[in-house]
Structure 1
Amino acid sequence: MLPAGPAALLANVRDRDPARPLLTHYDDATGERVELSATTLDNWVAKTANLLQDEFDVGPGSTVAVALPVHWQTAAVLLGVWSCGAAVLDTAAEDEDRLVGVDVVLAAQDRLPALEESAGDAELLGLSLHPLGAGMTGYAGPARDFALEVRTAGDRFVPYALPDPAAPGLLAGGLELGLGGLVEAAAELAGRLGLGPDDRVLVDERTATEAGPVAWLLAPLAVGASLVLCRNVDVERLPGRAATERVTATLGVRVDGVRELGRTGGEE
């Protein structure tokens, strides 16, 4: 069964160039650097989708709240939800009061205490966001540990029901996009930004959070570009990082000698 919606974007990149670095994640507060090829990210996505489908009955018609920062594991979670044909409720803006009708919540460990009060009957999964994918420590609440649960999930995902491109895919503020609409929006944005398959785009956490996953994740995937995600950015490190990672464009940060997306010829 062929992937539909945003999952198809990753499948296209994986089939075209499975071993090339696709997503590199830095955290300047911890010194973390994690690099994933298209094959490795696809494996994480498949495991996440299998966990959600088999353990939590996530599928078309389900809504999954994602309360996670911009992170490589967040990319896997988002694409895993969309692989199931479900809608993502983006709660990156710290809005815990919008969880009515949510089936599952995936949240960073530090956000779990607040979410335990507002999640209602939704299942809770907590993520430590450990660079090596380790589980949570020092947590004794009701949330299940994503890292422990996902390890035993299958490496190949086949949805029980084929995702409907017209079904809801992203709910963020007043915005609602269908699964097919996410793909269209990603391709349109990639075209406006002038992204191509040879681009390697450096994105900072602040910009990515404000712009949303269509900008920081799906637009690059739509054209096969690769990503360098940076959390807790130390701007003094960016020139060296851009050179080391062979960055060709930036989104939300300025590095001398590297084109800044959305700034050429005026506002985006």
Structure 2
Amino acid sequence: MGNTIPSLFAAVVGKDPSLPFLTFYDDSTGERTELSGATLANWVAKTANLLVDGCGLGPGDVAAVRLPAHWQTAAILLGAWTAGLSVAYGEPTAAGADVEFASLAAAETGAPGPADRYVLGLAPMGLPMRGGVPTGWADYVAEVRQFGDHFSGPADPGGTEDLVARGRALALPGGRVLIDAVAHPDPVEWLIAPLAAGASIVLSVNSDPEKLAARAATEQAERF
């Protein structure tokens, strides 16, 4: 399956791109969004193309990602790693970063950052933001949709082997795994570890603890 995150993602999706890869629940809104491997791969490719063709970035550059656990966060992280960027996740400022992705709340409180800055409303169905976009920022969803569904840049540029090793050390089961982001907010836990195990993901945010057991049974997933 490889030792980098892009190679792991390609291997898992390649088994059957039509199967669910990431199922997202938000108990605060009642949202359930399910993405097949092919659908998430399209978002990943669009993000990588945005970074390479839209921002002129590539290996050696850094993406600051100030977003909660979310399926769009997965697309951005995987897209950045696919394009060869390093990721600074969850840091309070974007100092030294070449591009920044942030939630609306983070964008409104953040310090000055790079020229390329994208804000996410994290709306259901991947809809663009409603209302105004903060000054100096662009709407990620509106921008990324302009880019192609296939990434033709460097294939598996490397640089993520340490993250893969950390994910493998968690020894998640293969198959399908339910992860409560309240307990496991780090992408190494909710994204990389399942990839390293070859598992599909059921990601639950703002979780109601009383719903998790039934959710795992419904989704035929093992709980992490």
Under a length normalisation based on structure 1, what TM-score does the superposition of the two structures give? Answer: 0.78
- For residues 3 and 168 of structure 2, what CA distance do their matches in structure 1 show? 15
Percent identity between the aligned chains?
Answer: 45
What residue in structure 2 maps to residue 133 of structure 1? 126
- Residue 260 of structure 1 corresponds to none
Bigger radius of gyration = 1
Q: Could you tell me which residue of structure 1 aligns to residue 184 of structure 2? A: 208
Could you tell me how far apart the structure 2 residues matched to 1:111 and 1:162 are?
32
Aligned equivalent of 2:72:
73
Structure number with higher relative contact order (C-alpha < 8 Å, ≥ 6 residues apart): 2
After superposing the two structures, state which structure 1 stretch, 223-232 or 26-35, moved more. 223-232
Q: Are 1:23 and 2:4 counterparts?
A: no
Asked if the contact 2:62/2:85 (under 8 Å) is kept, the reply is yes
1:140 shift after superposition: 3.8
Letter in 2 for 1:73: Q
User: Match of 1:219?
Assistant: 193
1:5 aligns to 2:4 (yes or no)? yes
Q: Does 1:113 align with 2:108?
A: yes
Q: Secondary structure of 1:69's match?
A: coil
Taking the aligned partners of 1:223 and 1:238, their CA distance within structure 2 comes to 21
1:154-233 equivalent positions in 2, closer than 5 A: 154-159=148-153, 161=154, 164-165=157-158, 167=159, 179-190=160-171, 193=172, 195-196=173-174, 198=175, 200-209=176-185, 212-233=186-207
Which stretches of structure 1, 4 residues or longer, exceed 6 Å deviation after superposition?
none
Letter of the aligned partner of 2:85 in structure 1? A
Q: Deviations over 1:85-142 (max 9, x none)?
A: 1100011xxx424x22111110111211112xx1333421011111111111222422
Q: Does the alignment pair 1:96 with 2:92? A: yes
CA distance in 2, matches of 1:136, 1:80: 20
Give the structure-2-normalised TM-score.
0.92
- What SS is found at the alignment partner of 1:136? coil
2:146 corresponding residue in structure 1: 152
RMSD between aligned residues: 1.8
